[in-house]
Amino acid sequence: MYFDWTILLMLPGLLLGLWAQARVNSAYAKYSQVGTRSGVSAETAVSQLLRQNGAGDVAIQATSGQLTDHYDPTSNTLRLSQGVYGSSSIAALGIAAHEAGHALQKAQNYPFLSLRSLMVPVVNFGSKLSWPIFLAGILFSFEPLMYAGIIAFALVVLFSLVTLPVEFDASRRAVAMLNAGGFLTQEEETGVRKVLNAAALTYVASFVSALLQLLRLIAILNRRRR
């Protein structure tokens, strides 16, 4: 029986991804139940922090879902999920400040964020078409198409690599802002870091998965040439 061993390359990324997601869920479950001493809601805290850091023009809205918090650079809007927006928990403040960190990156033209935004259209193309192009190359035994598929997917890998400094920097800014604003005790800061580190791990897992998938494409190409 024929077995495609290259599929095993996907396993470590998959396991890392599941582990990271489990850590996010457990950190969120724990720290969304622990209130901060300041008692200020995440929405109030970030609107103050954004103003203090020269980004008072950022709109803040509530959005549906759990852990759907994000900053939208096109409309310069920070959207906070229901469990975060009005909450004064450690998790809520950490998550909201992380998204505010992205808003500050935009306001200050943080280079990796600009690079990431530039890459979005190319990466959308790459993630949709890399496998179809590669498979067409296999089907027609036409190597240039296989190479094209690999290059398209390499852009996806590069994108998830560029995402890492953007995410780590947003978390660093979050902790610094919250501390400077006097929103956290030392103990609360530890909780914020745990939530944000777990979230960062999911981005590391995405990068590792993408990298292994790229190696898989290269392995399939090499196998066909032998």
Residues carrying an active site annotation = 99
Nearest to 66 by CA among 110, 2, 21: 21
- Residue number with CB closer to Zn ion (196 or 210): 196
Q: CB of 170: closest distance to Zn ion in angstroms?
A: 5
Instruction: Give the sheet arrangement for strand 77-81, strand by strand.
Output: 59-63, 77-81, 70-72
Segment interacting with Zn ion (CB under 5 A) among 5-13, 20-28, 133-141, 166-174: 166-174
- Residue number with CB closer to Zn ion (100 or 170): 170
Tokens representing 58 are 């950022």
Enumerate residues 168-197 that contact Zn ion by CB under 5 A.
170
State how far the Cα of 86 lies from the Cα of 40, in Å rounded to an integer.
Answer: 9
Q: CB of 164: closest distance to Zn ion in angstroms?
A: 11
Whether the CB-CB separation of 9 and 216 falls below 8 Å is answered with yes
Q: CB of 99: closest distance to Zn ion in angstroms?
A: 7
Nearest to 112 by CA among 203, 202, 34: 203
Count of residues of this chain found to bind Zn ion when the rule CB under 5 A is applied: 2
Segment interacting with Zn ion (CB under 5 A) among 47-55, 145-153, 161-169, 204-212: 161-169
Amino acid (1-letter code) at residue 163: T
Nearest to 24 by CA among 226, 195, 220: 195
Segment interacting with Zn ion (CB under 5 A) among 4-12, 110-118, 165-173, 178-186: 165-173
Segment interacting with Zn ion (CB under 5 A) among 31-39, 149-157, 160-168, 179-187: 160-168
State how far the Cα of 104 lies from the Cα of 102, in Å rounded to an integer.
Answer: 5
Whether the CB-CB separation of 86 and 32 falls below 8 Å is answered with no
- Residue number with CB closer to Zn ion (162 or 170): 170
Q: CB of 198: closest distance to Zn ion in angstroms?
A: 12
185: number of CA atoms within 13 Å, CB side?
9
- Residue number with CB closer to Zn ion (170 or 198): 170
> CA angle, 59 as apex, 58 and 62 as ends, to 5°?
135
- Residue number with CB closer to Zn ion (72 or 189): 72
Q: CB of 98: closest distance to Zn ion in angstroms?
A: 6
Residues that bind Zn ion in the complex, under the rule CB under 5 A: 167, 170
